[in-house]
Amino acid sequence: MPQRILRPLTESAIFLVLTVDEGGEDGVREVLDGFTGTLRTVRSRIVAADLGCVVGIGARAWSRLFSGPAPKGLRTFPALSGTVHDAPSTPGDLLFHIRAHRMDVCFELAGQLMRQLRPFTTVQDEVHGFRYFDSRDVIGFVDGTENPEGLEAQRFVVLDEDTDPVFVGGSYVTVQKYVHDMEGWERLTVEHQADAIGRHKWDNVEMDDETKPADSHTALTVIEDADGTQLKIVRDNMPFGSAAADEFGTYFIGYSRDLDVTEQMLRNMFLGDPEGTNHDRLLDFSTALTGTHFFVPTVDFLDDIPP
């Protein structure tokens, strides 16, 4: 059974990225073995909050933690260096993507997981995300509209017999933490902001092909296979930030069955399409601070961790 990747957007999320310390492998395996039980322990206390958590495992940790074969497509995030903007590749062996309708249960689960994992791991990043008005990112645009749903989403996200017979039901996930230059963004007119996204701000209506700029975010992230079929990922971005520190951010998270798809979108954004000339206008106001790929094993894998 796949982990619960596909679900309606929630109001709260915590993104926890850890690395496994040298010698911490057995301890981590034990915590992973008890993971679904830990999730149930917190979830059952307030069922209406609909707490969920997806665990991902990074390429560098896989062979340290498990003796069997690795998922075919698992690799580290490739750093990208465009003519104007860079996407760094940053460490991450474990990802916990915690989601619920309330922050208290997310925080409780994060706390319980950290109590168990602290002796064996180092925290690389912890981000608390919040739903912002009508699912807008902090730069004011509705985010998540074109996400595939239902069976279509499953097809784009969950591995099947053809993609990787050993890891059927698994998935891949990519995270990037972005901070925005809000002063620069707010100096743009609303029309120029819309040009950067390719959708209108207030009503979220998509621009038509004649008016949508080629360097808009949605022009560059719509990609197709050789037959002209659109290739999609499932995103659950969350705003985060600190008013005191003047930090306004978007935590990008994208699930896919094939990391090539996510990487192609990233190449279009950072290197440009055509390469070297047409990067994503959104990046002129958004800086990527992290970038990490993970594999998402099935629930069955977690409940019966291989030796």
208 is catalytic: no
* CB-closest chain residue to ligand HEM: 146
Q: What is the dihedral of CA 230, 234, 235, 236, to 10 degrees?
A: 160
For residues 59 and 89, what is the distance between their CA atoms, to the nearest angstrom?
13
- Our CB check for ligand HEM shows the closer of 1 and 245 to be 245
Quote the least distance from Cβ 268 to ligand HEM, whole Å: 9
Give the footprint of ligand HEM on this chain (CB under 6 A): 137, 139, 141-146, 176, 178, 197, 199, 217-218, 221-222, 233, 235, 237, 250, 252, 254, 262, 265-266, 282, 286
What's the min distance (Å) between Cβ of 283 and ligand HEM? 8
Which is closer to ligand HEM, CB of 121 or CB of 176? 176
Place of tokens 């619960």: 4
The secondary structure of 52-97 as a DSSP string is EEEEEE-HHHHHHH-SSPPPTT--PPPPEE-SS-EE-----SEEEE
Could you tell me the smallest distance in angstroms from the CB atom of residue 138 to ligand HEM? Answer: 8
47 vs 151 by CB, closer to ligand HEM? 151
Minimal CA–CA distance to 10: which of 101, 72, 133? 101
Task: Find the shortest distance in angstroms from Cβ 287 to ligand HEM.
Answer: 9
- From the list 105, 131, 103, 90, the residue with the least C-alpha distance to 45 is 105
From the list 143, 215, 236, 258, the catalytic residue is 143
Which amino acid does the sequence have at 51? L
- Which residues, at least 6 apart from 112, have a Cβ–Cβ distance to it below 8 Å? 38, 41, 42
The least CB distance from residue 72 to ligand HEM, in Å, is 20
Closer of 237 and 298 to ligand HEM (Cβ): 237
Sequence letter at residue 16: L
Q: Between 125 and 137, whose beta carbon lies closer to ligand HEM?
A: 137
Q: Which residues contact 16 (CB under 8 A, 6 or more apart)?
A: 94, 95, 96, 98, 110, 113, 114, 123, 125, 126
Q: Rounded to an integer, what distance in angstroms lies between the CA atom of residue 179 and that of residue 185?
A: 12
Q: Mind telling me the catalytic residues?
A: 143
